[in-house]
Amino acid sequence: MRIVWRLAGAVPTLFGVILATFLLTRVLPGDPAVYFAGNPSMDAHAIAQVRKSLGLDKPLPQQFVIYLDSLAHGDLGQSISTGMPVREELMNRLPASAELTICAFLIAILVAIPLGVVAALKPGSLVDQLCRLISTLGVSLPTFVTGLMLIYVFYYLLGVAPEPIGRIDPFLVPHQITGFLLIDTLLDGNYEAFAASARQLVLPAMTMALFALAPIARMTRASMLNVLSSDFIRTARANGLSWRTVVITYGFRNAVLPVVTTLGMTFSYMLGANVLVEQVFAWPGIGAYALNSLISLDYAPLQGFMLLMAAIFLLVNLVTDLVYVIIDPRVEFGK
Amino acid sequence: MSVAVRERLRVAHYVVSGNPVNVIAFGLFAFLVLCAIAGPAIAPYSPLATDTPIALQPPSAAHWFGTDQLGRDIFSRVLVATRLDLLIAFGAVALSCVLGSVIGAVIGYFGGWLDATVSRVVDVLMAFPLFVLAMAVVAALGNTVANVVYATAVINLPFYIRLARAEINVRRSLGYVEAARVGGSGHFRILLVFLMPNIFSPLIVQASVNLGWAVLNAAGLSFLGLGVRAPTAEWGIMVAEGAQFMASGQWWTVVFPACALMITVFSFNLLGDVVRDILDPRLRT
């Protein structure tokens, strides 16, 4: 029941998001009708005809209602430059972005949380200094610079990484089930293609992971330090509980709540950083798609992209809230 | 000098001298400001002068940072770009700080439907990945440097609005505000004279922490080709132009502008911590 309420709470925001994307893309310069007509020498009459067929001659509120109606039917419009339905193109490209973002996120979590915990256990130690160095680097280095440096070192100097030209040829993976090449190749039993797609993924995923590491490690360290200095930890120690129980069961469980918040925030920052990383590695994801549409002033794909991003964002917030309740039963859902 | 100011200065001196990192932060910041002011005057070459016969040469005595694909001197370009990059960052942060704190203060003070409406709009803004929002804003307003400033300001606005709103909200019914009201002060005077000065510290802390982020954001936009146009010397676009040469080993086209970016963000972040320690010692970690 509470989940329903929490979902209902997101509806006004979602509506606002739809309105905002609609308005924002309407003020984009350039007349789509002229573009659609395809020929600058077309006469005014023909352009007016195209405008009418696109519904651009109607007043703005009416256009919005039409837009809402088509959204309700799952129609995100058509791309002007490719002529393809936006939904189809987004769905084709989403797995590439999702694979990259999720892998990077997992790497970041697996490195940052242990790093933060160890740093908090021994403040001032070598690990603590390393933690500080990495989190400083992570916030000071632009993602595109990290990516380019990694390309220089691992592709040009060491020659261990493949050329940064995106994912492997999709024709090498005949049966696309999930669109995640790592999973599809395994399902196919094609280990060679699996290794190839993993090699393509390593550098971009590392780039993004380094970006995501910093806030997570920082928050884990701070939260862990805070918890470890509290009275119940001292009591647990004094009662002779094992080190493992004190740190993991007593300490970490209590320290993890703010970390979850940071995880949610970091994930949404990664959605934005995605565009830059995809640009550096020629990764054929939705960020690159949005950027191309932005440059060619093709507003339907851009609108679709913004909506998809905001929807993912709201979903991530919801998941964060859910995880809260699981970790700490005292937290009331929907608060 | 009033007692309060002298006290602040003493805290500032204590904080700065207490940690050598803080001295470095101030040193770097002073160096950057110097580059921004004097950069165009002391640059050895024109940042726009092309010289194709010496394109893509590694660093040498004549060209400290090497040359780019058009034979332009990278050292001069990096130096001259400082002014533009700092102006974008400071402009964006100042704009969002002033605008955001005024909006936040007004809705926090008056509350009611205005507060509800603006807070909703802020929620919607925050529902987008912020960098994506900035991209869309630049695209919508047009591809100019000024619009990069506006876009960066827009995505920073929600933080200031929320901060100012919360800070004003807890203070608006405090005794001294009541007293001012009884004494005949109007809403405008109460906000400006009694409330705003009290929320100044957290706002400045937020602004200084935001600066580094603003630099990264603006550089990211111009890296994508949004905002700053091609021949202009700007760090983000220089990295973008050098990117294709990174895979063929001409590292200097990327590394030097990237280092400039990194040093700037790094010093701003350190400085943000210093300012926070001086103005709001409770937040110290």
How close A242 gets to chain B, by Cα (Å)? 29
CB contact under 8 A, B243 and A294: no
Read off the DSSP letter of residue B225. T
Q: Does A279 touch chain B if contact means CB atoms closer than 8 Å?
A: yes
In this complex, the residue of B131, B236, B239 whose CB is nearest that of residue A272 is B131
Number of domains, chain B: 1
In this complex, the residue of A139, A144, A163 whose CB is nearest that of residue B223 is A144
88-127 in chain A: CB under 8 A from chain B: none
In chain B, whose CA is at the least distance from the CA of A162?
B247
CATH at residue B236:
1.10.3720.10
Enumerate residues 6+ apart whose C-beta is below 8 A from A168.
A181, A193, A196, A197, A200
- Tokens representing A143 are 């993602």
Q: Is the pLDDT of residue B95 over 90?
A: yes
Predicted TM-score of the model (pTM): 0.81
pLDDT grade for A110, boundaries at 50, 70 and 90: very high
User: Amino acid identity, residue A227?
Assistant: V
How close A46 gets to chain B, by Cα (Å)? 26
CB contact under 8 A, B219 and A142: yes
Q: Does A142 touch chain B if contact means CB atoms closer than 8 Å?
A: yes
In this complex, the residue of A136, A279, A309 whose CB is nearest that of residue B224 is A279
Query: Which of A28, A129, A152 is the best mutation test for B, with the most CBs of B within 10 A?
Result: A152
Q: Is the pLDDT of residue A173 over 60?
A: yes
In this complex, the residue of B133, B225, B251 whose CB is nearest that of residue A295 is B225
Residues of A in contact with B121 (CB under 8 A): 16
Tell me how many degrees the CA angle B189-B194-B197 measures, rounded to the nearest 5.
115
- Per-state percent for chain A, helix, strand, coil, to nearest 5: 75, 0, 25
Contact by Cβ (8 Å): B168, B243 = no
CB contact under 8 A, A144 and B220: yes
How close A50 gets to chain B, by Cα (Å)? 23
In this complex, the residue of A13, A28, A164 whose CB is nearest that of residue B124 is A13
What whole-number distance in Å separates Cα of residue A30 and Cα of residue B100? 31
Residues of B in contact with A144 (CB under 8 A): 220, 223, 239-240, 243
Gap between the terminal Cα atoms of chain A? 14
**Inter-chain contacts counted by CB atoms under 8 A, chains A and B:** 134
Read off the DSSP letter of residue A171. G
In this complex, the residue of A141, A145, A273 whose CB is nearest that of residue B131 is A273
Higher pLDDT pick, A173 / B124: B124
Q: Is A131 helix (H, G, I), strand (E, B) or coil?
A: helix
Half-sphere exposure of A280 (CA within 13 A, CB side): 32
CB contact under 8 A, A222 and B265: no
Q: Is A242 helix (H, G, I), strand (E, B) or coil?
A: coil
CB contact under 8 A, B132 and A305: yes
User: Each residue of B200-239: pLDDT tens digit?
Assistant: 878 887 887 788 888 888 888 888 888 787 788 788 888 8
User: Each residue of A193-236: pLDDT tens digit?
Assistant: 777 777 888 889 988 998 888 888 888 888 888 888 888 888 88
| ipTM for the whole predicted complex goes beyond 0.85 | no
User: What's the whole-number average pLDDT of chain B?
Assistant: 81
Residues of A in contact with B219 (CB under 8 A): 142
In chain A, whose CA is at the least distance from the CA of B211?
A140
Query: Which of B117, B124, B226 is the best mutation test for A, with the most CBs of A within 10 A?
Result: B124
In this complex, the residue of B127, B248, B255 whose CB is nearest that of residue A310 is B127
For helices A86-121 and A181-188, give the axis angle rounded to 10 degrees.
100
CB contact under 8 A, B129 and A140: no
Q: Does A159 touch chain B if contact means CB atoms closer than 8 Å?
A: no
pLDDT grade for A109, boundaries at 50, 70 and 90: very high
CB contact under 8 A, A142 and B261: yes
Range of the domain at B60: 2-283
Residues of B in contact with A12 (CB under 8 A): 120
CB contact under 8 A, A313 and B128: yes
In this complex, the residue of B136, B142, B269 whose CB is nearest that of residue A24 is B136
pLDDT grade for A335, boundaries at 50, 70 and 90: very low
Average pLDDT on A126-137 reads 82
Average pLDDT on A13-17 reads 84
CA B53 to chain centre: 38
What whole-number distance in Å separates Cα of residue A104 and Cα of residue A155? 19
Higher pLDDT pick, A43 / B163: B163
What whole-number distance in Å separates Cα of residue A84 and Cα of residue A301? 10
305-324 in chain A: CB under 8 A from chain B: 305-306, 309-310, 313-314
Higher pLDDT pick, A138 / A205: A205
Residues of A in contact with B265 (CB under 8 A): 139-142
Enumerate residues 6+ apart whose C-beta is below 8 A from A55.
A63, A66
User: Each residue of B164-201: pLDDT tens digit?
Assistant: 888 888 888 788 888 888 888 888 888 888 888 888 87
**Range from A27-41, A267-281, B66-80, B271-285 carrying the lowest mean pLDDT:** A27-41
Closest by CA position to A314, among listed A18, A67, A115, A56: A18
221-250 in chain A: CB under 8 A from chain B: 222
pLDDT for res B206 = 82
How close B53 gets to chain A, by Cα (Å)? 25
Contact by Cβ (8 Å): B283, B276 = yes
Q: Is the pLDDT of residue A190 over 70?
A: yes
How close B193 gets to chain A, by Cα (Å)? 35
pLDDT for res A174 = 64
Query: Which of B21, B28, B78, B132 is the best mutation test for A, with the most CBs of A within 10 A?
Result: B132
